[in-house]
A = this chain, B = another copy of it.
Amino acid sequence: MKPNLQVALDNNTLESALADVREVGNIVDIVEAGTILILQEGTKAVKSLKALFPNKTVIADTKCADAGGTVAKNMADAGADWMTCICSATIPTMKAANKEIDEIQVELYGNWTKEDAQKWLDAGISQAVYHQSRDALLSGETWGEKDLNKVKMLVDMGFRVSVTGGLNVDTLKLFKGVDVYTFIAGRAITKASDPAKAATDLQNEIKRIWN
């Protein structure tokens, strides 16, 4: 199956996010209200994105760590289809969240183990987001064999895995042969001189590699 393309909107204001998503929302498969944007604007950001793109999957990247039921209900009420929980959240938090919204994605940061991942699956959560942290990327780290092996392990376990962090049309091919569920791009789309072309180029490269 062709991996999805997701645009991450990590803007400081709703207005700037709307300007960034205007030309690309209908090209990508999934529109993400990024953590920065939600922390700035609240659920107004999620509501606005769902209002503009009712037929796209809208993700609230809350990285929820606690009070999963309340946060998930709030995000679902605002129009989010899926929501993220941080991997260090407890299983009760993830389960509580999973009851209130269509799907939960586990955001992988820091220490987590295969045993943790199995617990998430056992709790009914089958999406994970594998990250290169933006700050880690700024410190010079990049995608490597270690990352790809972890992604493959998660896919083999039964997760649908989204990958994100420093992705562009040149780095997609690193994932050839891996059943990635979704590629998440932020600045590679929104900061391009022609964002619609950048999104289309990414979609075409995904189709070329995973045809």
Contact = CB atoms under 8 A, between A and B. Distances in A.
Copies of the protein in its oligomer = 2
B70 A88 contact: no
Interface string A30-46: 00000110111111110
17 contacts: A10-B70, A12-B70, A39-B71, A39-B75, A42-B44, A63-B65, A66-B133, A67-B134, A87-B88, A88-B88, A88-B109, A89-B110, A90-B133, A90-B136, A95-B135, A96-B135, A111-B112
A158 interface: no
Nearest to A10: B67
A193 interface: no
Contact of A42 (B38, B64, B70, B109): B38
Given A39-B43, A43-B40, A90-B136, A65 B109 contact: yes
A62 interface: yes
A135 B68 contact: yes
B110 A87 contact: yes
